[in-house]
Amino acid sequence: MSLSRAPGTAALVDGVLAGEPRRIAQAISAAESGDGVPELLREIFPRTGRTRVLGLTGPPGAGKSTLALRVAQAYRRRGCTVGVVAVDPSSPFTGGAILGDRIRMAEIYTDPGVFIRSMATRGAMGGLARATSDAVDILDAAGFDVVLVETVGVGQDEVDIVKTAETVAVVLVPGLGDDIQAIKAGILEIADVFVVNKSDREGADRTAAELAMMLDLAPSRQWRPPIVRTVAPRAEGVEAVVDAMESHGGWLGTSADGGRRAVRRVRARLLALLEERFHRTLESRSPEPDGFEDAVERVRERSEDPYSAAGRLFERLVREPAVERA
Amino acid sequence: MSLSRAPGTAALVDGVLAGEPRRIAQAISAAESGDGVPELLREIFPRTGRTRVLGLTGPPGAGKSTLALRVAQAYRRRGCTVGVVAVDPSSPFTGGAILGDRIRMAEIYTDPGVFIRSMATRGAMGGLARATSDAVDILDAAGFDVVLVETVGVGQDEVDIVKTAETVAVVLVPGLGDDIQAIKAGILEIADVFVVNKSDREGADRTAAELAMMLDLAPSRQWRPPIVRTVAPRAEGVEAVVDAMESHGGWLGTSADGGRRAVRRVRARLLALLEERFHRTLESRSPEPDGFEDAVERVRERSEDPYSAAGRLFERLVREPAVERA
């Protein structure tokens, strides 16, 4: 029942609650591995719920990392401590991570009021969402006032992850072509704030105008996402981004949307945990007679279709199935 | 037990097996909706297994759609019929799709030897992978010689989907910055063929050289992915892409990798089906006393941590849990 990493749960709990960066980092690593951190979470969970969770997403090349660091600095100037959780695309074996921004923004790494962490995606379905939620709770329990979750805004998992934030900023840049239009459509409805980054580029006016037009055409919502223009490397417009996010946070507090979002966040989290366990159970149960591997073999040789095979497996696994189809 | 769409399963089965475009389109729409197409699949599955399934992926802005259409045209010149399944990022309510390429390449739409379909992602976890596999089978049963699956190469789901192809081409472009480096790392190991598209751009030599260097540094594999340079709108290099993919296909046939991939494909598919059913079951079971919604409420008010809540729900749902943690 103990964590596989060196420090025991008790040491991690104490360290996290004391805000020790090394223990926080170890706790997040534990969350990324295996079955996660059930014991740690049980201990720290009552101490969570005080942090403000912000999301930042957008297509690759939009300058999200630089903007995230600038936003972190802006919150620091306002007296808040900040945790940054970056959900990067990465590899099962190379563990890709974006280093450029770190070198560029080295100063922020020496600030004890800021904790920055890249999540390694290991290809475990559901696992990344679960680990990211755990990381947010760890930083929450460690006392950070603001936690900023940064994801690439392409791919359902990544969009689902950032949607669990209280306030989501979607970062776009002028002129990235057809694919980006599709991404825009996909993330339009999750934005509480739009950021047009690299606004010194040609086409920034048009991008901002297009966004405004899309908002005009979209089903009317109580909160209309403001559109903020930034040049992140020069920190231009970054205070306005923070103002817009805080303004949305204030609105959430007075609207039913705040409560609905909290419920949605918990639902998504429980579903992710259940799905991860289900996945793990499937993988750990085999081999058994007429089990998963036999089903794979039958489907591979086309003696059984995938739906029928999955239907049989499912009925054996799950009690009182509520789905009627075989 | 009947499909919710207008045509009955029998009509769809007959139409798909006869290669009728309208029925194929209706069958794929049915696969995208609800619980999918268990009855249709049961009927057509024995008629599948003859098509060659190719994957094409890469970051947004790499020109994948144009390249996919050029590759389709190249296969047509070689006498093959081609199905294209495009997995686009899209929205739960806007259903974004990329229209630019379609208008540009209108000629291919009048060719009865080509069938092009965009999958609408509806935010259902697992559902997109399942529906894409179904679409591939439908096109396979309809007699298409080649099926080309195009996805955005960002996001775990999208990468998982393209990994189910027999041969995967990863499309990159010169000079897209730090984020793209991370994506490269993430998709390096799934590439059987690398395409450096927009090779008339500055930096193409460097991108190709960097890729070659990455391959030199990577753990040695039996198949070294060739690096092909293209300018898709002018169809430059497209024949070489097809040659490289076919060469990989030939190699697969003589290597144990071909069989391993077939098994991996079936495993992924059964897992996706099981996970989708699990997800659906969770959503359809509630409300029940002390069920999912009660757990959400307890976690939201922080009287129970998410792992404990998920653990209890899971044990009630799944028989003989193989995972020991509560």
pLDDT digits (tens, 9 = 90+) for A159-197: 778 878 999 999 988 876 545 555 555 667 788 999 999
Which residues are registered as beta bridge partners of A218?
A: none
- Domain of B170 in residue numbering reads as 48-254
Which residues are registered as beta bridge partners of B3?
A: none
Cα distance from A72 to chain B (closest Cα, Å)? 19
B265 belongs to a structural domain: no
B115 belongs to a structural domain: yes
Cα distance from B198 to chain A (closest Cα, Å)? 14
Q: Is A115 helix (H, G, I), strand (E, B) or coil?
A: strand
**Strand order of the sheet with strand A146-152?**
A114-119, A82-87, A146-152, A52-58, A167-172, A193-196, A227-229
Residues of A in contact with B269 (CB under 8 A): 299, 306
User: Quick one: B40 and B74 in the same domain?
Assistant: no
Cα distance from A109 to chain B (closest Cα, Å)? 19
A265 belongs to a structural domain: no
Q: Nearest residue on chain B to A187, judged by CA atoms? A: B91
Cα distance from A21 to chain B (closest Cα, Å)? 23
B283-309 confidence digits (pLDDT tens):
776 566 778 888 999 999 999 999 999
Residues of A in contact with B280 (CB under 8 A): 323
Strand segments (E) across B40-123: 52-58, 82-87, 114-119
Q: Residue A225: pLDDT above 60?
A: yes
Lowest mean pLDDT, pick from A226-235, B1-10, B247-256: B1-10
pLDDT at position A5: 47
User: Quick one: B16 and B74 in the same domain?
Assistant: no
Average pLDDT over residues B56-60: 82
Indicate yes or no: CB of A181 within 8 angstroms of CB of B123: no
Q: Among B90, B179, B267, B276, which would you mutate to test the A interface (most chain A Cβ atoms within 10 Å of its Cβ)?
A: B179
CATH number of the domain bearing residue A230: 3.40.50.300
pLDDT at position A323: 42
Residue A66: both structure tokens together: 């630089």
Domain boundary residue, one of B254, B279, B310: B254
Residues A63, A172 contacting (CB under 8 angstroms) = no
Indicate yes or no: CB of A160 within 8 angstroms of CB of B310: no
Number of A to B CB contacts under 8 A, please give it.
Answer: 308
B173-205 confidence digits (pLDDT tens):
887 654 455 555 566 778 899 999 999 988 899
Q: Which residues of B167-197 are buried (b: 16+ CB within 10 A; e: fewer)?
A: bbbbbbbbebebbbbbbbbbbbbbbbbbbbb
User: Quick one: A41 and A183 in the same domain?
Assistant: no
A95 belongs to a structural domain: yes
User: Quick one: A209 and A121 in the same domain?
Assistant: yes
Domain boundary residue, one of B210, B236, B254: B254
User: Quick one: A7 and A128 in the same domain?
Assistant: no
Indicate yes or no: CB of B302 within 8 angstroms of CB of A269: no
User: Quick one: B110 and B79 in the same domain?
Assistant: yes
User: Quick one: A179 and A216 in the same domain?
Assistant: yes
B117 belongs to a structural domain: yes
Cα–Cα dist A63/A243, whole Å: 19
Q: Residue B246: pLDDT above 50?
A: yes
User: Quick one: B152 and B237 in the same domain?
Assistant: yes
User: Quick one: A107 and A159 in the same domain?
Assistant: yes
Whether ipTM tops 0.85, in short, is: no
Task: Give pTM, 2 decimals.
Answer: 0.74
Cα–Cα dist B94/A185, whole Å: 6
Q: Nearest residue on chain B to A185, judged by CA atoms? A: B96
Choose the closest CB to A89 out of B1, B101, B186.
B186
User: Quick one: A31 and A94 in the same domain?
Assistant: no
pLDDT at position A176: 62
B146-181 confidence digits (pLDDT tens):
999 998 766 666 777 887 899 999 998 887 654 455
Q: Is A310 helix (H, G, I), strand (E, B) or coil?
A: helix
Helix ranges (DSSP H) in B151-300: 156-163, 178-187, 204-217, 238-254, 256-285, 292-300
User: Quick one: B92 and B20 in the same domain?
Assistant: no
Average pLDDT over residues B238-258: 94
Q: Among positive and negative, which fits the CA dihedral B54, B55, B61, B62? A: negative
B236 belongs to a structural domain: yes
A284 Cβ contact list (under 8 Å, min separation 6): B322, B323
User: Quick one: B232 and B114 in the same domain?
Assistant: yes
Q: Among B102, B121, B178, which would you mutate to test the A interface (most chain A Cβ atoms within 10 Å of its Cβ)?
A: B178
Cα distance from B49 to chain A (closest Cα, Å)? 8
Cα–Cα dist A88/B292, whole Å: 31
Q: How many domains does the structure of chain B reveal?
A: 2
Average pLDDT over residues A96-112: 56
Residues of A in contact with B155 (CB under 8 A): 89, 152, 154-158
Residues A100, A233 contacting (CB under 8 angstroms) = no
Residue B299: both structure tokens together: 């976690």
Choose the closest CB to B91 out of A185, A284, A306.
A185
